[in-house]
Amino acid sequence: MNKIQMKTPLVEMDGDEMTRILWQIIKDKLILPFIDLKTEYYDLGLLNRNATQDQVTVESAEATKRLGVAVKCATITPNAQRMQEYPELTQMWKSPNGTIRSIVGGTIFRTPIVINGIKPAVRNWEKPITVARHGYGDVYRSVDMYTTEPGTATLTFKGVSGEEKSVEVQTVKGPAVWQGAHNLEASIRGFAKSCFQYAIDTKQDLWFSTKDTIAKVYDGEFKKVFEEEFVNYKEKFDELGITYFYTLIDDAVARVIRSKGGYIWALKNYDGDVMSDMISTAFGSLAMMTSVLVSPEGIYEFEAAHGTVTKHYYKHLKGEKTSTNSVATIFAWSGALRKRGELDEIPELVNFGNKLEEAVFDTLNAGIMTKDLAGMCEEGFKATAVNSEEFIDAIAERLAAKLA
Ligand code: NAP
Ligand code: MG
């Protein structure tokens, strides 16, 4: 069989622990037999980030801006415990995802992968709900401090013109904690644009919610920018019969639970972080959630929403068989290859992305799945739990048949 040829390389960001093991198996069994794979490879494994003073992360993000499409493996964000586990670390390196998001910008879209045997915890959900999480600022770029004595805190902005603007935050009588957060108008506008464009691309309604009744200026700005930007997309929305609607986050949460699904829910950075975990769990499993960072200029970074599955990795190191779910990581590859195919006008590559996903669904619908999913199947659905490698083998077999 002739392998599919690529034009532009994908940016490949390798990662850590169990997902790094799966990464190699996915490449060996699902990608390399069918595609003459071109990638620009960046090793974002923790030890290489340490060895390069985290320059590798910055370079991989810059490569993504240059080439347009990246696929990323899950990576360790070190914490105090990891500093002990890896004594060679010279710093508690920042989250690679945070670094990449701040360079690439844009919005993170997370969509659950829904299969027949597993019904969502919310019975009326019939279609996936995509969470669109703003990828910049707020608490993730905030500073905070602890004070011990009575006093007053003020928030002061010094303009380059020399003009100053101040508000009193609070006067306190005792120990207190403080936080200063910001966002950028340009980033909020990019967020709005990415969301409207993604709604058009996927032909789904767009919901947006904040707490603008409390944060009148801060969240009010998000609401205002979305309204301003919507003017540019309204005609296209009308044409496609899709809608944009804004509501308070409290109201949105209630509506989401009552809904049938099948729309995009845009959320500020923190809300999106938390709500995407809730939505993915309610749809079945964090291991079944895809994640794509989309910048307003149309740059894409695909990944799985879950972490490096540490516990499974330690079993693997002891020589034990694991049953780790590779679906979301496979969908990161299929999504990235399909997008590369679309941008480079290579229909075979687009077709490959689709067929790879079909092969995953066929495998799951045949009841062949990893332990995490097998344990969640509805009564009457016959599921067989297989190990990590057997699962990928079962997909490879179906994929080869589809592409033959
Ligand atoms: P995690 O790796 O997502 O795993 C949490 C638990 O969820 C696992 O122990 C496992 O449960 C289950 N799980 C998650 N993904 C699974 C999969 N593919 N197949 C089967 N089960 C799966 O989260 P974590 O343990 O909180 O974090 C581990 C490391 O990942 C941390 O160092 C963190 O910094 C990093 N992380 C990276 C990213 C990213 O790069 N995008 C995101 C989140 C976390 P059982 O053990 O019960 O089987
Ligand atoms: Mg989270």
SS3 (DSSP) at 394: helix
pLDDT at 298: 85
How far, in Å, CA of 317 to CA of 301, rounded? 29
Taking alpha carbons only, the member of 169, 195, 184, 77 closest to residue 137 is: 184
Ligand 1 binding pocket includes 322 (Cβ within 6 Å): no
| pTM (predicted TM-score) | 0.87
Q: Which ligand is nearest to the CA of 85?
A: 1
pLDDT of 73-90, one tens digit each? 999 999 999 999 999 999
Ligand 1 binding pocket includes 375 (Cβ within 6 Å): no
Question: Rounded to a whole number, what is the distance in angstroms from the first to the last CA of the chain?
Answer: 8
Ligand 1 binding pocket includes 98 (Cβ within 6 Å): no
Neighbours of ion ligand 2 (CB under 5 A): 273
The Å distance, Cα 45 to ligand 2 centre, comes to 20
How far, in Å, CA of 143 to CA of 138, rounded? 10
Residue for token pair 């494994």: 45
pLDDT at 4: 97
The Å distance, Cα 371 to ligand 1 centre, comes to 15
Ligand 1 binding pocket includes 334 (Cβ within 6 Å): no
DSSP assignments along 323-362, one per residue: ----HHHHHHHHHHHHHHHHHHT-HHHHHHHHHHHHHHHH
Q: pLDDT by residue for the chain (404 residues), tens digit each? A: 789 999 999 999 999 999 999 999 999 999 999 999 999 999 999 999 999 999 999 999 999 999 999 999 999 999 999 999 999 999 999 999 989 988 988 898 999 998 888 889 999 999 999 999 998 899 989 999 999 999 999 999 999 999 999 999 999 999 999 999 999 999 999 999 999 989 998 899 999 999 999 999 999 999 999 999 999 999 999 999 999 999 999 999 999 999 999 999 999 999 998 998 899 889 877 789 899 999 888 899 999 989 999 999 999 999 999 999 999 999 999 999 999 999 999 999 999 999 999 999 999 999 999 999 998 888 888 899 999 999 999 999 999 999 98
The Å distance, Cα 132 to ligand 1 centre, comes to 21
pLDDT at 111: 92
Ligand 1 binding pocket includes 97 (Cβ within 6 Å): yes
Ligand 1 binding pocket includes 14 (Cβ within 6 Å): no
Taking alpha carbons only, the member of 133, 280, 115 closest to residue 198 is: 133
Ligand 1 binding pocket includes 285 (Cβ within 6 Å): no
Q: Quick check: 349 and 338 in contact, CB under 8 A?
A: yes
pLDDT of 5-47, one tens digit each? 999 999 999 999 999 999 999 999 999 999 999 999 999 999 9
The Å distance, Cα 61 to ligand 2 centre, comes to 21
The Å distance, Cα 194 to ligand 2 centre, comes to 21
pLDDT at 402: 96
Q: Which ligand is nearest to the CA of 13?
A: 1
Ligand 1 atom nearest residue 328's Cα: 18
Q: Which ligand is nearest to the CA of 272?
A: 2
pLDDT of 161-171, one tens digit each? 999 999 999 99
CA distances from 53 to 49, 98, 185 (A): 6, 16, 31
pLDDT at 287: 86
pLDDT at 251: 97
pLDDT at 243: 98
The domains located in the chain, with CATH, are: 1-112+294-404 (3.40.718.10), 119-137+184-283 (3.90.190), 143-180 (no CATH)
pLDDT at 377: 87
pLDDT at 118: 86
